[in-house]
Structure 1
């Protein structure tokens, strides 16, 4: 049952996934100086698709040929890549990245509600909902309450980022079907980014006209490879591995950890200074995750019952 506490392996994979996606902020920060957004997204998913199909070939997996599998790949690509990527890119042209990060951290809130309505084995519990709320507050505190001063302006842009978070939560529920199809995590990862690349390519060609752009620098090429191979190809293999065993609501907790990873990587790689609010926010996120996991609460409850007995 996916309402069970995650195992130590699943928590480890979730942390690795947050590091990979947190690192994508570093890669994107380099790329946006030289390339337009749709070109970055198309190159990201296209290179990831090539890498993953090479691995599929080398691993001996059969390429799915059924209509149902490919319809699911395209559905997942739309909900997990096309819609959220596009909404977030557009939203961030109007609102600060800090506010966008807080709004994106509502993904677990949406996931808890959507999973409660659409599934039988991921129902909402009091501790899970409380943990999600505490984790969300931790993200808001860590990024900084000052960004909330813009909460009433650019409402459409804010709704766009919230729409992206909702789309991610739907994708988590939708992606559960790949386990029922008997597909190993490598195949949905490859299929999803392939579908996304096919859908994004005409958009990039029409909007960005990439053939008119200057040749990217060596630094940009390195960032693009990191974004495609690490933050996309490897990340989605881990994504579908966690989804298959731990469930959608547990998987969506990664959105709490991504800002933590991004801030820590900024401190380690770019020499950025950590402020007290960062540590306070991380502590709240840890508390929220502990409440969602449930084992710490059960441990204290068991000790209390033992004392009472």
Structure 2
């Protein structure tokens, strides 16, 4: 049982690790000042690919639920993510996501009745301190719009995580991921046409390589792993795994792009990894379904 849980944690962690490469890919391979184009070409082809594999459409209430989750987890999140990536340096955009575990833990305690323990709160606060150490050492000027976009994306995804856990999954993770990527991608397509228009120039081979990587690896594959984890792990535990994204973003910025990397930033990364470990040990120690018990006790359902 413990071995299976560890394997689930590791496979879920693959998703935020891959997302950590988004920022470097955006700055190195994608055209400038086209965040909605980047978001659309990341989501829609990935959704189409997965839908071709699963060949199953939503039924009943899952038409509108897929739209809601698609906007929160994909549409709004991707748009804000790429705006932040274009306007903020290196891994700073992802580092703002350090507040996400605290937001998810708070929402989960209200909506899912997961226990908001002092240890989880302490781990969340420590994680924010850790990413703060990294951010404050960044040799770059922060852009206000970029920071607001990063915060908005964090809040959007936090809401999506909790709702995904609350509503469950009526089909396999690959299928429900396809629905959300399609609905989120179509929403992004409309927004792109309205605010950016269609591309005026032909995409280069470098652009196509970047979009292909983000769509197939960083989205289709990563989100199947992510939603699989959401279905089987407590919501707040999954959110803490998301903190791997800024760590990977910073490490890739240092290794590939030659961005500055100080001892204080290294300390921040170690603090973040320690916070993740503390939260995961706490949350995964609970038996399956433990987060549902307080809800039953309060409502009297059975």
TM-score by length of structure 2 reads 0.82
Is the Cα contact below 8 Å between 2:103 and 2:155 reproduced in 1? yes
Number of positions where the alignment pairs a residue of Structure 1 with one of Structure 2: 282
Report how far residue 109 of structure 1 moved.
Answer: 1.0
Specify the alignment match of 2:288 in structure 1: none
Separation of aligned partners in 2, 1:226 and 1:216 = 15
Cα gap change, 1:19 to 1:96, in 2 (>3 Å): closer
Q: How does 1:1-309 map to 2 (within 5 A)?
A: 7-34=5-32, 36-57=34-55, 63-90=56-83, 100-120=93-113, 122-145=114-137, 154=144, 158-177=147-166, 179=168, 181=170, 183-211=171-199, 213-272=200-259, 274-294=261-281
**Using a 3 Å threshold, how does the CA distance of structure 1 residues 115 and 65 change in structure 2: closer, same or farther?**
closer
**What's the offset of the Cα at 1:138?**
1.3
Tell me the distance in 1 between the aligned counterparts of 2:41 and 2:53: 18
Counterpart-to-counterpart distance in 2, 1:99 and 1:262: 8
- Residue 237 of structure 1, CA deviation: 0.1
Q: Distance in 2 between matches of 1:188 and 1:109?
A: 26
- Secondary structure class of the residue paired with 1:7: helix
**How far has the Cα of 1:66 moved from its partner?**
1.0
Unpaired segments ≥5 residues, structure 1: 58-62, 299-309
Report how far residue 160 of structure 1 moved.
4.5
1:245 is displaced (CA, Å) by: 0.5
Question: In structure 1, the residue corresponding to 2:203 is in which secondary structure?
Answer: coil
Q: For residues 249-302 of structure 1, give each alpha carbon's deviation from its aligned partner in whole angstroms, at most 9, with x where no partner exists.
A: 11111332111111222344445564312321121112212221336xx9xxxx
Structure 2 gap segments, 5+ residues each: 286-302
Deviations 1:87-108 (A, max 9, x none): 4445567666665434322111
CA RMSD of aligned residues (A): 2.9
**Partner Cα distance (2:16, 2:78) in 1:** 17
Is the Cα–Cα contact under 8 Å of residues 99 and 148 in structure 1 kept in the other structure? no
Moved more, 127-136 or 235-244: 127-136
1:40 CA drift (Å): 1.1
**1:304 corresponds to:** none
Flag the 1:37–1:90 CA change in 2: closer, same or farther, 3 A. closer
C-alpha distance in 1 between matches for 2:254 and 2:96: 23
Q: Is the 8 A contact 1:169 1:248 kept in 2?
A: no
Q: Is the 8 A contact 1:73 1:192 kept in 2?
A: yes
Q: Distance in 2 between matches of 1:8 and 1:289?
A: 14
1:302 equivalent in structure 2: none
What is the DSSP-based 3-state SS (H/G/I as helix, E as strand, rest coil) of the residue aligned with 2:21?
helix
State the shift of 1:54 in Å: 2.4
Is the radius of gyration larger for structure 1 or structure 2?
1
Distance 1:257 1:280, change over 3 A: same
How many angstroms apart in 2 are the aligned matches of 1:149 and 1:51? Answer: 39
How far apart are 1:159 and its partner, in Å?
4.5
What is the TM-score with the length of structure 1 in the denominator?
A: 0.80
Relative to structure 1, the CA distance from residue 180 to residue 26 in structure 2 (aligned partners, 3 Å threshold; closer, same or farther) is closer
Cα 1:144–1:221 shift into 2, 3 Å = same
